[in-house]
Copies of this chain bind each other. A is one copy, B any other.
């Protein structure tokens, strides 16, 4: 069963990841990763960009179906796939998979949307696949996930369906404030390894004053030399992740642990803060959860 059965692709804002997988057990026969997210593709350039990355696989294995998830299905992507509404399970998502108009055998997994009781909306594209790829087998109770990133996603799954999720702009606020605000003036170095500064930021996040006040501490404590310039990014990171976790945990209401999905260096930071807030965590690398999620959706499409 090592005959290629599908090409699975995670095509996000900044990155492109693809796997050539076999039928049956879904063994990975080949893989590709490139910094060719949808922001690097010109309008109309998606067929060529796909060829550039996995054209050789498609020539070698004619007719092998392609399944894509992520921002490739957004308005700024190849073709807009309407959001599936929560609660959504893997079967609903598989049924909502959309063929790319004018292409044979290329499909896009839609994102999902959540409408809160107060009428507010939230959306994700791509993370839902990672969540479905990280579900604990046979677990029917509430499972809570946190996917740190430019836009961090927190989600709750019950009986295999996403029943709630919410976004925090933590990563984007961190980078935008570091690069474009006065806070960047005193910063040196781009690393996030000053754990003392990170911890101080986390402690600040529970003080009165609110986030807009705490952000200014990065400047004030920088001016007064409380932290080395190389520690200010870590301090800002501790403040932001602290605010995110303190606001999200009471809404997410994990029954037990929080499952973190992301890059290990980032999930480690989240784990240290969530653990400090008396909640256990388990971490899953993002590439594994994506591959598993796309594989499950592919299977559900065949069975559905």
Contact = CB atoms under 8 A, between A and B. Distances in A.
Oligomeric state, in copies: 2
B168 A212 contact: yes
Contact of A122 (B166, B220, B243): B220
A255 interface: no
A120 B200 CA distance: 11
Given A120-B204, A151-B216, A180 B182 contact: no
Query: Is the interface on chain A under 10, 10 to 19, 20 to 34, or 35 or more residues?
Result: 35 or more
Interface string A187-213: 000000000000000001001111111
Contacts of A223: 121, 123
Nearest to A118: B207
The A contact surface, by secondary structure, is helix
A213 B180 contact: no
Interface stretch (A4-12, A245-253, A262-270, A279-287): A245-253
Given A169-B216, A216-B169, A247 B210 contact: yes
A192 B151 CA distance: 26
26 contacts: A118-B207, A120-B204, A121-B217, A121-B220, A121-B221, A121-B224, A122-B216, A123-B220, A166-B213, A168-B216, A169-B181, A169-B216, A170-B212, A173-B181, A176-B181, A180-B180, A208-B250, A209-B248, A209-B251, A210-B244, A210-B246, A210-B248, A211-B211, A211-B243, A211-B247, A213-B244
Given A120-B221, A169-B216, 17 more contacts: A121-B217, A121-B220, A121-B221, A121-B223, A121-B226, A151-B216, A152-B212, A168-B209, A168-B212, A172-B181, A172-B182, A173-B212, A179-B180, A209-B251, A210-B244, A210-B246, A212-B243
Interface of A: 118, 120-123, 151-152, 166-170, 172-173, 176-177, 179-182, 204, 207-213, 215-217, 220-221, 223-224, 226, 240, 243-244, 246-248, 250-251
